[in-house]
Amino acid sequence: MATYTCYHCKEEIEEGTPHDCWTTTEENLTRGLSEDLMDAWERLRETAAEFGDQRIYASHKSIMFSRKSCYFFVRPQKSFLEIWFFLGRRLKDSRVRSVVETSRVKVAHQLRIKHRDEVESPLTDWLKEAYDVSETLRSSPKKATAGKRKTVSKEKPK
């Protein structure tokens, strides 16, 4: 049967077969990881799951950890796990590779891990902080206008 290569995920798909590469699973995203990276991933997931009630799910090329909104996510790569977490402050640490202000109140921090032993303090402390503040770090809503506006007539007074 004829096949084609999906533009997004680069998989060979048989024509006529349903395909939705935007829907993925944790297993699909972690399938090709080395033993060291898989150990690091498992420890990272276990640690985060212990924080409390949350939703852990795969989305495109990331594994998301969220309460009402995402507080951190992981992008598994061939040679490292790319981790992004959101705090209400800017960190200054040599392990943090990138810092991005994502809103007036949220600051995203990126770092990479390659081994299970890296899933320890201060990383776990930062992730716990991100979990704890995720409910309060929402972009503040626009200010409501004080009172009603007056309707102005365009007619000339008599």
95-139 per-position pLDDT tens digit: 999 999 998 899 999 999 999 999 999 999 999 999 999 888 765
> In this structure, is residue 89 part of a structural domain?
yes
Domain assignment present for residue 12? The answer is no
pLDDT: which is higher, 10 or 106: 106
Count: domains in the chain: 1
State the residue range of the domain holding 48: 22-133
Closest CA to 83 of 107, 112, 61: 112
* Beta-sheet pairing, 107-113 with 98-101: antiparallel
Q: Is the pTM of this model over 0.75?
A: no
2 located within any domain: no
Rounded mean pLDDT of the chain? 85
In a domain, 144, yes or no: no
Query: Would 153 be classed as within a structural domain?
Result: no
Residue 147 falls inside a structural domain: no
Q: Is the residue at 79 inside a domain?
A: yes
The answer to whether residue 11 scores a pLDDT higher than 50 is yes
- Residue 4 in any domain: the answer is no
